[in-house]
Amino acid sequence: VLKFNEKGILEAGKDADLLLIEKKSFEIRDVIAGGRLMIENGKLCIREKFLEESNRKIELRGAKYKEGN
């Protein structure tokens, strides 16, 4: 319907964002988006320019997933 012929396939010449997560914990391990490595081994690799002049504080909250919960 939307005809995104370059989406949804990992193949040369196609567009794809990739999210790798840890199997047991579901923690984000690596993210490649827009052809850029964004997160590697759970660590942020990029910092967007608009954040350099921002005084905003960003916090992530929530319980960490524990197997058996």
pLDDT in tens, 41-58: 998 888 777 777 778 777
Distance CA 19, CA 34 (A): 12
pLDDT in tens, 5-30: 766 677 787 777 888 998 888 889 99
- pLDDT reported for residue 17: 84
- pLDDT reported for residue 1: 56
CA distances from 44 to 34, 35, 48, 52 (A): 15, 15, 11, 15
- pLDDT reported for residue 30: 93
